[in-house]
Homo-oligomer: A and B are copies of this chain.
Amino acid sequence: MTADTVMKKIQGGGSVSVYDACNGFGQVAASAAIDECMKTASENGIGAVGIRNTNNFGTAGYFGEKAANNGMIGIVMGNAAPAIAPPGGTKAILGTNPICFAFPSPETEFPIVLDMATSNAARGKIRLALRNGEKIPLGWALDSNGEPTDDPAAALEGSLIPMGGYKGFGLSMMIDIMAGLITGSAYGGEVKNLNHPNSYSRNGNLFIVIDPTFFISKDEYDLRMKTLIENIRSCGEPGKVTLPGEIEYNSYLRSVDSINLKDTQISDTNKLAASLGIGKELVPAERKGGNK
């Protein structure tokens, strides 16, 4: 990975652009791409920006939300290192390739955001379980022999179970084609993990932004979104139904003052910071006098 994120324009025509992120930071590249995509969408109603040779952008939802907060619909896709096997196969070939759809929602305090891995569980959750010495639920992963496992280490050596079986693998393949194959990035099992010792990751991304005012007026959009949310919330007891993005928003609100970290995460971070001679020591909240 390179420290500077240079965005080199490879292609540009009509409502489409393709950039080479030159192995820089995924977050920086994705942020620039969604900005350009919003500009194109505001001019033409819909726009697409592809990125080749980037790195893991962290969370797809962040970039989708950027579009939604500007009144637009954001679609974000990224391919990732091999983690899931195809129907009928045992070898992991495609990533847990995330896809995000984000929509402005003036009636709620948060935009409507679906940000999902195409596996039953995101790889990050399995890495976290490994770090915390916890088991994972059966149904998340297979070991390298294709057998169900609750051991996060065996899961990371094996393959993750795609959501909805063949449908999840199919979605992962669609994302691999749109984010990796057509952008000229790595695809088909070539993407590497961020911490690979000898190779760049070469993730690919595709961003599609739609300006809904090319379809209906902003007032109509706002009114219809309000109705949709009321209708969905009325399908259960008051307060019981959750909307896509709602749990994440509530978790964000809880994190404004302090972030819920395990002891091992705190001590690992402090050890790393000390070894590099940087940063302030992380302190558990209760030692600071009971912050939530």
Contact = CB atoms under 8 A, between A and B. Distances in A.
A49 to B, nearest CB: 10
A198 B70 CA distance: 40
Contact of A16 (B46, B50, B92, B227): B46
B173 A163 contact: no
B225 A181 contact: yes
Contact of A210 (B48, B86, B112, B188): B48
Chain multiplicity (copies): 2
Interface in A187-211: 187-189, 208, 210
B93 A170 contact: no
A14 B45 contact: yes
Interface residues of A, number: 72
Contacts of A18: 215-216
Given A11-B215, A170-B114, A208-B46, A91 B163 contact: no
30 contacts: A11-B216, A13-B214, A14-B15, A14-B214, A15-B44, A15-B45, A45-B48, A46-B47, A86-B242, A86-B243, A87-B241, A90-B235, A103-B174, A112-B173, A116-B167, A120-B164, A163-B164, A163-B168, A164-B167, A170-B244, A173-B232, A173-B243, A173-B244, A178-B210, A181-B228, A182-B216, A182-B221, A184-B216, A187-B224, A187-B228
Given A15-B44, A73-B177, 8 more contacts: A46-B46, A86-B236, A89-B241, A114-B167, A120-B164, A163-B167, A176-B228, A184-B220
In the A-B complex, the 7 residue pairs with the smallest Cβ-Cβ separation, listed nearest first, are A89-B236, A16-B45, A89-B235, A14-B44, A163-B164, A114-B170, A14-B45
